Amino acid sequence: DAKTTQPPSMDCAEGRAANLPCNHSTISGNEYVYWYRQIHSQGPQYIIHGLKNNETNEMASLIITEDRKSSTLILPHATLRDTAVYYCIVRPSWNSGNTPLVFGKGTRLSVIA
Amino acid sequence: NAGVTQTPKFRVLKTGQSMTLLCAQDMNHEYMYWYRQDPGMGLRLIHYSVGEGTTAKGEVPDGYNVSRLKKQNFLLGLESAAPSQTSVYFCASSYHPPESSYNEQFFGPGTRLTVL
């Protein structure tokens, strides 16, 4: 399984874009990059996922480098409610019994007023 | 829609006691999962279900049993609780199967269990 590396914490001013990096240099060609976040005392929440093209939805944008060895999650206008731990997950192939979502330690994003 | 709900939110047990955690979802999802989250360990899959009446073992199934008698409910049981089972338990459901490349999972708010 590909491992991911994320900075342990980041700060962002309210209203500014939050850019969260993730390194996944050993990613395989058929592995997707997923992003989830976990607001304090809540369950994880899906944000976005992609394979090699950039993706955008109502929550965020995902930029994947051409070599797929790294990606960046962009929250275009961060609010205080975006304060959470953000997990970058390289989704391994599903084998019965294993975990399709392997959550590491993530990046703790603090949005500051 | 309530999404995924879990009951109870908190529980303290003594070693050897038993309990059942209830997960309910109102999204008509076929697939449901039970995870535990320990500090520094991320989420680990305990058991999962691919449909009513079916269950399967995940990564860390020992000490737990599950049942999926109704599509909307997934129960996690601890027959004889141990301190090592102190954790936060999350239930999740998905529309797409776990082997799908698109496997967005919807999580409940969690149950914080302490075993003394």
Distance, C-alpha B54 to centroid of its chain = 14
User: What's the pLDDT at A41?
Assistant: 80
Residues of chain A neighbouring B106 (CB-CB closer than 8 A)? 46
Quote the strand ranges of chain B, DSSP E: 4-7, 10-13, 19-25, 31-38, 42-51, 54-57, 65-67, 73-78, 87-94, 105-107, 111-115
Region A15-26: mean pLDDT is 96
Residue pair A101/A34 in contact (Cβ under 8 Å)? The answer is yes
Dist CA A87 CA A35 (whole Å): 6
A46 vs B92: CB contact, 8 Å cut-off? no
Angle ∠(A100,B94,A50) on CA atoms, nearest 5: 60
Dist CA A18 CA A4 (whole Å): 19
Q: How confident is the model at residue A96 (pLDDT cuts 50, 70, 90)?
A: low
Q: Which of A39, A99, A103, A107 to mutate to test the interface with B (most CBs of B within 10 A)?
A: A99
Residue pair A73/A20 in contact (Cβ under 8 Å)? The answer is yes
Residue pair B36/B30 in contact (Cβ under 8 Å)? The answer is no
pLDDT, one tens digit for every residue, chain B (116 residues): 789 999 999 999 999 999 999 999 999 999 999 999 987 677 889 999 999 999 999 989 999 999 999 999 999 999 999 999 999 999 999 999 888 877 889 999 999 999 99
Residues of chain B neighbouring A94 (CB-CB closer than 8 A)? 98-100, 103
Q: Has residue A25 got a pLDDT over 80?
A: yes
SS3 assignment, position B85: helix
Residue pair B21/B111 in contact (Cβ under 8 Å)? The answer is yes
Positive or negative, the CA dihedral B99, A61, B41, A25 is positive
Q: Has residue A94 got a pLDDT over 80?
A: no
For residue A94 the two structure tokens come to 């599903």
Interface of A with B in 79-98 (CB under 8 A): 87, 91, 93-94, 96-98
DSSP A3: -
Q: How far does the CA of residue B36 sit from the closest CA of chain A (Å)?
A: 11
